[in-house]
Every structure is written in C-alpha cells, then in structure tokens.
Structure 1
C-alpha cells in the first residue's frame, strides 16, 4: 500500500528522526521473545505479533496494554519487576543486526541533515545497539526512559525536536510501528513508514508507506536538504 507523497516535500527537511527497532535494527523478534517470556512468568500468554502491534511504546506502555488486555492492572512494583526481567532476557539472548546498507546511508545523510533517534526501548538497550551499529551518527537520542508519556503520545518526538532546536515543518520521521506513526502524527510531523513487522494497513496514518527497506532507503538517499 502506498500513499501519494508530494514531490516538493523532498526538499523541505533539515532533520531526520528515526525509530530504532525495526527501522535501524532488525531487533523486534528479540524484543518480542523477551516480552513473551517475561509475561509468561506472571501468567499472561502472548505471541510475537501481540508485541509487534504495540511496538514503539515504552516499557510502561507495553506492560499496561498487555495487562489491560488480560483484565489485570500492573502496579508500579510489578512494572519495574517486568521491566528489569525483560531487559535481562533481551541482553542475555540478544540476536540483532542492522539493516543492510543503513549505516553507510546515514553516514552520507549526516553530512546534510540533523539526525536523531526516538525509541521506546530502555536507555541501556538503545545505547548498546547504537554504539555497536551506528557509532557517532546521531545528534540526539531519546529512549523510552527519557519521557513521561511514550508513543503514541507526541512527547517523544516533541522532545527530540526541542533538543535539536529545529522547526516541526522541517522534520521527517521514519517509523515502522503503528504507535510510532501515531506519535509522529500527533506531534504534527511528516512521517514515512516501512512495514517491517506489521501489515501496511496498520500504518495508514503515515504520509507514505514502504513495503521494505530498499525503497525506503532509495527515497531517503534522494532527499535534498532544506536550503536555509
């Protein structure tokens, strides 16, 4: 599924803000497996797709959404317990890799655009992945722990824009998750999405949807920086 994209938008940006998991790294299966195991230990059975559908939310959001679906409520002590356990499982069996060609592309884009990351993952997880696969690329990194309200709330993207010191209309968000797209659009930002783990129909609020990374990367490579 593609949504028409106005040609003039290709030259109106000076800042690109990326989600991490599913956009920069092929990491969501590992995240999902860690969550599946974590929730099973407190008697809640889910599958990977349950996590993919709410990807982008921080750990508080994920836990609350899954508990609500199970007719339960997680208190702060339970949330912290599950957060720590999920992170432990993720880091213990981490099996992730960057999407092919993305690092080289970002090295080129860095010469012309401000680059930032907005992720729902915990700070140690985000930092470990970016330090390993994308060192010295991003000016600003927002993790799930850096905001009070995670995606789909606009706060994560608005915080990144504030720190970058740029205008909303000059920012392009690159997402792959329904809640992430919602967060960007709730912040009144232009957003393109790649349907890495969910059907494109679930990303319908994005300004354009790419079926895979290759056309997304071609699009990004063709962007012309804003003439300031």
Structure 2
C-alpha cells in the first residue's frame, strides 16, 4: 500500500485496511458552504440571536453554532419548543426566517475561507466532481459562489 498524503494518512490507512482496499479514488466531493467555503457562521449567529432575543427566546449567540446545518424552520421549531412548548406555525417560520435573512444582510459581507479556492482547484485538477451542499437559504451568499469560485460548481 502506498502512503497517502498527510495529514490524514493514519486514518486513511486504517480505513483502507478495515475495508480490504488497496486504494481509494474519490470521484466527487460534497462541499458545504457555511464554514467551508465562507466564513459566514459569525453572521448567522448574530442574526439568529438578534431575532430570537427580540421574540423573548432565552438563548446565547454561541448556541447557534450547534444548529449549523439545520434548516431555518428546524432551528425556529427547536427554539419555539424549548421556549414556548410548541412548534412554530408555517406562517411564523416563513416570516421569522425572512426577518433573520434581513438581519444577516445588514451585517458586513462574508468572506471566502482561506484555502477554499485552493482546495476546489486541486479537486478540479484531479477530475473530482464538486457538489455544493448547503442548508443555507442566504441568497446573498449563494450569489457570490460564481464570483468567488469561478467555474468550480
């Protein structure tokens, strides 16, 4: 077996051995947006915290890092269940997520993560398909994908 590149060599070797593989050649990469391509979580946490405290929901800004990857509706329901003992209505979820989006847009623009373009370039060079996966509905960030990562998706 050839030694895979660091820093994950031991984990890759254990995986290969456990599954009786000599090598693995990934053909695609599923790439998240928030925290992988963009440093957007600090803005998400600020917008969520502002929204929920305005509604009287007891929460901390840091808690919203735990909800990363959830849909807006799921986050709203989790907090409504905890604070009010019920799920939010469809109308509440829609209007509250819209307001959270407005708060997000008021914040400074998010920047690409350091090394993200390099990572995508390597994937493209080796012929790996790149698939953007995200639970984010932040159109302002989605609109920047083509500008910040041209030809990658």
Q: Give the whole-Å Cα distance in 1 for the aligned partners of 2:28 and 2:141.
A: 20
Distance 1:123 1:34, change over 3 A: closer
| 1:126-152 deviations in Å (ceiling 9; x for gaps) | 4224234223211xxxxxxxxxxxxxx
Any unmatched runs of 5+ in structure 1? 139-228
| 1:77-100 deviations in Å (ceiling 9; x for gaps) | 111111110111111213421121
Aligned to 2:86: 72
Q: TM-score, normalised on structure 1?
A: 0.54
Any unmatched runs of 5+ in structure 2? 1-7
- Equivalent position SS for 1:108: helix
Q: TM-score, normalised on structure 2?
A: 0.78
Q: How does 1:1-228 map to 2 (within 5 A)?
A: 4-5=11-12, 6-7=15-16, 11-70=24-83, 71-111=85-125, 112-122=127-137, 124-138=139-153
Distance 1:123 1:89, change over 3 A: closer
CA RMSD of aligned residues (A): 2.2
Distance 1:49 1:123, change over 3 A: closer
Task: Work out which of the two has the higher radius of gyration on C-alpha atoms and give 1 or 2.
Answer: 2
Is the CA contact (8 Å cut-off) linking 2:47 and 2:104 kept in structure 1? Answer: yes
Q: Give the whole-Å Cα distance in 2 for the aligned partners of 1:34 and 1:123.
A: 12
Which one has the bigger strand percentage?
Answer: 1
Is the CA contact (8 Å cut-off) linking 1:119 and 1:126 kept in structure 2? Answer: no
Distance 1:122 1:79, change over 3 A: same
